[in-house]
Amino acid sequence: MSVRKLKPVTPGQRFRVVNGFDTITTDKPEKSLLAPKKRSGGRNNQGRMTTRNIGGGHKQKYRIIDFKRDKTGIPATVKTIEYDPNRTAFIALVSYTDGEKRYVIAQNGLQVGQTIVSGTGVAPEIGNTMLLSEIPLGTTISCIELRPGQGAVMARSAGSFAQLMARDGKYATVKLPSGETRLILLTCMATIGVVSNSDHQLLVSGKAGRSRWLGRRPRTRPVVMNPVDHPMGGGEGKSSGGHPRSRNGIPAKGFKTRSKTKASNKYILERRKK
């Protein structure tokens, strides 16, 4: 993992910090694992804008990722480490011994030619997917299931990881990237290691145009709107806008919106840090 600071030969490159891509081994994706990706521009099926600040962007194809890792006991060889425009993490193309190819989320340190495997009785090595009941305590894990067979839903973005803290009964105690400590069933799967591209947070786009390439349109600050458009709008000159809140008047920055009767509250031992 490395980043490069470009020379300021143009205004757009003056503050630009780019990814070194030194772990990427190819720029051509596996055609059989590509799917078309249609852009909505933030519009619903009636053509009405339902989400602001979305539109444009470079044409992309979706890479079909194997989040379930359900080919148990069959070794797979890492063929390539690739960039994926749909996520911050890098992905790895793996080829199983029976000939099938799949994309998986790449972990830090995963190398081309390395063999990975998922299932029971597997060694706790980087890239291997195991049950939480078999992973040694204190291990750094990622791509964690929340329900058995659901597929990985937590700790999937670049550089993120969780830690297996303890086991008690049929539950494992896991400290999540947000700082939350949570109970997860021992029959859920997780992958050993930290998600790749941990330098992603150091990147600097350098110009507004790069946001447009990613499909993000300009966002107007609520404080500069009129009172008819937002609760924080209006006032003479540079008014602060009172308390921060959403368009619907719901307070932000510290106001708790989580339901006190939510079913999963009993599985959360410690809330995330503010």
- Region 70-91: mean pLDDT is 96
- The residue segments making up the domain with residue 81 are 3-200
Domain-located, residue 69: yes
Going by pLDDT thresholds of 50, 70 and 90, the confidence category of residue 242 is confident
The whole-chain average pLDDT of the chain stands at 95
Tokens (6 digits) for 61: 């194809």
Contact of 176 with 184, CB cutoff 8 Å: no
Predicted confidence (pLDDT) at residue 273 exceeds the cutoff of 90: no
pLDDT tens, residue by residue, 106-142? 999 999 999 999 999 999 999 999 999 999 999 999 9
Q: Domain tally for the chain?
A: 1
Predicted confidence (pLDDT) at residue 19 exceeds the cutoff of 70: yes
DSSP E strand boundaries for 112-232: 115-116, 129-131, 140-142, 162-168, 171-175, 181-185, 189-192
- Region 43-47: mean pLDDT is 97
Q: ∠ at Cα 113 (109, 118), nearest 5°?
A: 75
Predicted confidence (pLDDT) at residue 35 exceeds the cutoff of 70: yes
What is the CATH classification number for the domain harbouring 157?
2.40.50.140
Domain-located, residue 205: no
Predicted confidence (pLDDT) at residue 175 exceeds the cutoff of 90: yes
What predicted TM-score, i.e. pTM, was given to this entire model? 0.92
Domain-located, residue 215: no
Domain-located, residue 265: no
Contact of 160 with 90, CB cutoff 8 Å: no
Q: How far apart are CA 76 and CA 80, in angstroms?
A: 12
Predicted confidence (pLDDT) at residue 1 exceeds the cutoff of 80: no
Q: How far apart are CA 117 and CA 77, in angstroms?
A: 9
Domain-located, residue 76: yes
Query: What is the pLDDT at residue 28?
Result: 95
Predicted confidence (pLDDT) at residue 231 exceeds the cutoff of 70: yes
Domain-located, residue 257: no
